[in-house]
Structure formats: C-alpha cells, structure tokens
C-alpha cells in the first residue's frame, strides 16, 4: 500500500479543506472589519454547507463506482438534509 488516498477520498478532502478555508476567511474578515454581520453570516453559511457538500461529493463518487447500496444510503441522507433545509427555510420565528 503506497499511502496515497483514493480519488474519492482526495475529493472529499479538497471539499472539506476548501469549505473550511472559505468559511474562515469570511469569519476572520468579518471580525477584523468591526463585526460586519454580512461577512459573519456568509462565513457561518459556508461552514454549515461544507458537510452537505461532502455528502454530495461522496454520493457522486459512490454512484460512479456503482456501489448501489451505499449510493442509496447516501441519497437517503441527502434527502434528509434537503428536507431539514426546506423545513428550516419555511419556519418563521415568532417574538
């Protein structure tokens, strides 16, 4: 074993690293610029969406590998995530 990651593992690593870097950039910029809420919100959004993007990358990778059982499980997880996002988008906080 050469210790080199498989292409899917590498893609997941790239997505997680990029998500963390983009999120960190927005959060740090928001804090350094006097607590700018727009930058802080974008940083938080990217931080929350990084795991979702990870699941998307894994799902595509599993489908390309023709690993149907885990593809279905991964699609199920994506469906759960999508439904929670839909419910959260329609909920309104009441004072």
- 27 in a domain, yes or no? yes
Total tally of structural domains belonging to the chain? 1
- 1 in a domain, yes or no? no
User: Domain range spanning residue 18?
Assistant: 7-90
Side-chain-side CA neighbours of residue 13 (13 Å): 7
- 37 in a domain, yes or no? yes
Whole-prediction pTM value? 0.81
Q: What is the pLDDT of residues 11-68, one digit of tens each?
A: 999 999 999 999 999 999 999 999 999 999 999 999 999 999 999 999 999 999 999 9
- 63 in a domain, yes or no? yes
Structure tokens at 38: 């727009």
End-to-end CA separation in angstroms for the chain: 59
């Amino acid at each position: 074993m050469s210790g080199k990651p498989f292409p899917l593992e590498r893609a997941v690593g790239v997505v997680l690293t990029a998500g963390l870097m983009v999120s960190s950039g927005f959060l740090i910029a928001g804090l350094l610029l006097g607590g700018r809420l727009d930058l802080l919100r974008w940083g938080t959004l990217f931080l929350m969406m990084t795991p979702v993007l990870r699941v998307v990358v894994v799902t595509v990778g599993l489908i390309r590998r023709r690993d149907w059982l885990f593809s279905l499980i991964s699609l199920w997880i994506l469906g759960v995530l999508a439904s929670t996002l839909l419910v959260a988008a329609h909920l309104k906080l009441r004072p």
